[in-house]
A and B are shown apart, each in its own frame.
Chain A
Amino acid sequence: MDAIIEVEHLTKRFGGNPPAVDDLTFSVAQGSVFAFLGPNGAGKSTTIKMLTTLLRPTAGTIRVAGHDPTVDPDAVRHAFGIVFQDPSLDDDLTAIENLEFHGILYGVPKETRRTRIRELLTLVDLMERKNDFVRNFSGGMKRRLEIARGLLHHPQIIFLDEPTLGLDPQTRNHLWGHVQTLNREEGITVFFTTHYMEEADSIAQRIAIIDHGRIIAEGSGDALKATTKTDSLEGAFLALTGSAIREEAGSSTDRMRQARQIWGGRRR
């Protein structure tokens, strides 16, 4: 199958620090489900930001849907939808307004927009709450709405950055059910990051294990288990890195997330 994402020698440095992303080379086949597995601070989000035109790489080349994000960002932006690690909805608008807003921003014609919004709200089970303000939504509902929004403009690829972080197990399963349906029925390429072993193992066809900004192994879950001679991905990670998957010290973003939890995401 053709590759829809091709990355060669991708590197990102912030100031004089050791590279956050260090010489990554990988490709993602069209229509596949691809997982980036690694601890917090491994460089997963930084890679996604470079793929999605939010950050410029220090070195290396990227092609997303045949375009280079640094040369033709708008062509790349049309090709993908994204669900960020942190919520990015407007709490003061209703569910349907958030979707309408996105549709207009992406230049989706009115008629298509209406039908597509109806389809997607049904898909993520939010049709009955469409006129409710997003601030009254639970974490899981927000995430589902963000997925619907990310798909509104018929992207070829959907990026999901830690999509299940902070969700309860039931909501998590539910959400992956939706994503798999989309992959099967609409043929969308799914690129997600996670630090949950079992998610990468059960959802993705290919997994890249990333640590300290480098890919240390890549293959299917079974292949990774076979090469490391263990029966769990957890064991594979341990064998490859010599350490269990870990949580790095809290960054300023983590503190912000904490503050949001305390204040309940309310403005003013």
Chain B
Amino acid sequence: MDLNGVYVMWLREVKRFFRSKSRIVGSLGQPLLFLVALGYGLGPVFQKAGQGDYLAFIAPGIIGMSIIFTSIFNGMQVIWDRQFGFLKETLVAPVSRLSIMFGRTLGGATVAALQGTIVLALTIVVGFRPVSLTGIIPALVLMLLIALLFSALGMVVASLLRDMQGFQLIMNFLVMPLFFLSGALFPLEHIPEGLLIVARFDPLSYGVDALRIFLLGHGLFGIAPDVTVLIGAIVAFLVLGSYLFSKIEI
């Protein structure tokens, strides 16, 4: 592992993030829409069904949504770099492929976690109240874990695709299902058995569940299983991602 390589790849992602104001503002539109339309729109129904405050329920889910979208697409930035040539510059550098891949993943994760933090602030603005202020700190750590997981997954996907033609495919068959089936928008209790099995295979389910534990005070799986699954998936995707990345030929 070459620290210079890791650092510089991380720095590039973070620099680009702070520079693209339109990207930061733009990516807040969707979470805001979900919070307002679903939180306020479905709130009364949820309340009537005896489930409590829907806005509070989906707030962690929406934070998870913004993290998964940002981090997977940050990983897929590699495809752009391949198409626009910059990838070659990093591949002829005297730095291991592993450091390049790891630095990019860290950078993408940092950016996604920052985005998640902004969305957390946004949920508070629209009326969400976390159970305790101290719960926010572990929640931020968890957001970074979720971001790492999906940045690594983004790298896996990007190493497999040659151009942006596959973008729609990834969106419809990977990102959307991961989000909608994770229990971000509905409680996983009392759902049909088949759907629950699918949700249990979705790593985002555990991320959102852990966020609920710290922000709402209760979850479904428990913090230990949540964190174990998250870390396990991070390691698995990092290993797979660096293997695939090392195989890239221009």
Chain A interfacial positions (CB closer than 8 Å to B): 49, 52-55, 73-75, 77-78, 80, 82, 84, 86-93, 97, 101-102, 104-107, 149, 256, 260, 265, 267-268
Contact = CB atoms under 8 A, between A and B. Distances in A.
Contacts of A89: 85-86, 89
23 contacts: A53-B92, A54-B92, A74-B95, A75-B94, A77-B92, A82-B92, A87-B85, A88-B84, A88-B88, A92-B16, A93-B16, A97-B15, A101-B12, A102-B89, A104-B4, A105-B4, A105-B95, A106-B94, A107-B94, A256-B83, A260-B84, A265-B84, A267-B84
Interface string B12-54: 1001100110010000000000000000000000000000000
Interface residues of B, number: 27
B153 to A, nearest CB: 21
B1 to A, nearest CB: 13
A92 B22 CA distance: 14
A107 B4 contact: yes
B133 interface: no
Contacts of A92: 16, 19-20
Contact of B93 (A84, A105, A260): A105
Interface in B60-95: 80, 83-95
A172 to B, nearest CB: 20
Chain B facing A: main interface SS? helix
A105 B83 contact: no
Nearest to A107: B4
Interface in B211-250: 249-250
Contacts of A52: 92
Nearest to A84: B88
A78 B84 contact: no
A54 B88 contact: yes
B19 to A, nearest CB: 7
A268 B20 CA distance: 11
A106 B93 contact: yes
A88 B92 CA distance: 11
B149 to A, nearest CB: 24
Nearest to A77: B94
Contact of A55 (B20, B93, B249): B249
A93 B95 contact: no
Interface of B: 4-5, 7-8, 11-12, 15-16, 19-20, 23, 80, 83-95, 249-250
- Give the 5 A-B CB pairs with smallest separation, nearest first: A88-B85, A77-B94, A74-B94, A104-B8, A105-B93
Given A53-B92, A105-B95, 8 more contacts: A54-B250, A90-B12, A104-B7, A105-B8, A105-B90, A106-B93, A107-B4, A267-B84
Contacts of B94: 73-75, 77-78, 106-107
Contacts of A77: 92-94
B249 to A, nearest CB: 6
A76 to B, nearest CB: 8
A65 to B, nearest CB: 12
Contacts of A54: 88, 91-92, 249-250
A263 B241 CA distance: 30
A84 B250 CA distance: 12
A144 to B, nearest CB: 16
A267 B164 CA distance: 12
Contacts of B16: 92-93
Contacts of A105: 4-5, 8, 90, 93, 95
A66 to B, nearest CB: 15
Contact of A267 (B15, B80, B92, B249): B80
Contacts of A49: 250
Contacts of B90: 105
Contacts of B92: 52-54, 77, 80, 82
A186 B196 CA distance: 67
B4 A84 contact: no
Contacts of A102: 89, 93
Contacts of A53: 92
Nearest to B9: A105
A97 B18 CA distance: 15
Contacts of B19: 92
A120 B181 CA distance: 54
A104 B3 CA distance: 10
Nearest to A266: B84
A260 B92 CA distance: 23
A54 B85 CA distance: 13
A87 B15 contact: no
B84 A93 contact: no
